[in-house]
A and B are shown apart, each in its own frame.
Chain A
């Protein structure tokens, strides 16, 4: 009996170890992370660029949110502390300097999106975006954590290897194996985080009564100030509102779990486009919804992305078709 238990735990440990190594460390084609670099770069440009409208009004010396006020408010929140909200913007009191640093930040992010000196500009872009988030954390919404996570995880990947100015500059050896385990770690982190986000979205909705009662979609479409489109013409169709509410929860639960299943993945990715477009209309959170659509690219194999974008593949591209199978096996 004891032997059987020992054998079971030995097998369990070996199986877990092998699965872990296969999941995180199998070298893979970095094409997908290169696509994610462009997605994150454009999203970061939008985020920081949008601060150009009212930069001094918000962060200037007589702005809506002085640094002292922000630090005071953040110290009170659980798990938060002004000491960890590090931002170089906190040190600036001159509007001119603010504009100069803003312009420099935009140039860094644009350089990253174009894939020039990608390793360095990736880290710098992350710091720029975090500086804006930490300067006024109380105005951060759903978009910012998703953007920050993508920029953070891409730091571990050779995301400038394709679709970049770096790749044009570099002399390429056709015999070189371009697969990288850093790309796998980075991609897996994005995938795990995105699926965990979906699960969190669904589970927090299940914590609120209105999502069980089927009325949540009405409360979203009735917010006349934030919604993108007025969909209240469906007010008399209670069944539609209920069905839509339940479908949102069901989809988010399904995505969080079934995205790891190879067969369900294309369907879920296609449905996510519809889901997030409708959510954008309902909530007005356009940047967040669009980013969630494109973040789903993390689950598309590099070979498929290559054919979608009509980019020629290297020899490692042919091997990518097995990726989804491995993911499914581990999951």
Chain B
């Protein structure tokens, strides 16, 4: 008997984060019940209450593992490695995986799991991190002052997000919405914000984004370089750099290596589309903490060769980042010609 083998590519994985009561489960239910024809496997936290017959639902108790060198980048989610490894063996049963984290979850180990584990890297592709924010109550969480050394999870969840669903706008006043949007943008200028009631966002805006896909980074960040006012009492912010000209690849590698090595603990996410001297192709990279992935992608052809980068993290020094980036330009000539926008 001959059977036609269907070639199955890497499984797209969407991560939904958000503080308790923000509407993560509502969004998950929307994703599961919308008429999109996709078969979805859900990994939900142990307290989840999703009861969807058509979905393959696996519960997960957060198990964060530090690998033996103690580096923050080697902190991964052991539960996800285990569960995803099992799901890979049932690859033909579903088209997509959605991971719903607990309200207190740190998104970094979730994202890092997909960088660090070779089996998952080959079988899955992290599509995007979506953070659901309660428009009425989020600000109080974001402004909450934590003890020294204790992270504010709601800040981290926004800092790591590719898309933000600003939920419950029906119960928030226009001023409350404006305040929380301002706070979000000060933390993460690159994430697109979707105001919503009952998480009613068009799923095309949330699924198949390719936020970690080097080939698609430049297509998917309309707000890549939106500059914003900063909240004075927040140490987490984003810094964008946009500059024309060509970079010296050796200087760039040296700088990025040193920057992410020394300050990767504070830099949550970074990504860039860069113009490299003597290359016709765009150099695209993204990183989660110190874990870096970059490659040459499409040709510039007639497009202006503009370098664009964004850093999101704690204690970022805009001037220092910009100056050190400028020091990577290929020639003195090109530096002088460059226009810097930050």
Partners in one complex: no
Residues of chain B whose beta carbon lies under 8 Å from any beta carbon of chain A: none
Chain A residues close to B by CB (< 8 Å): none
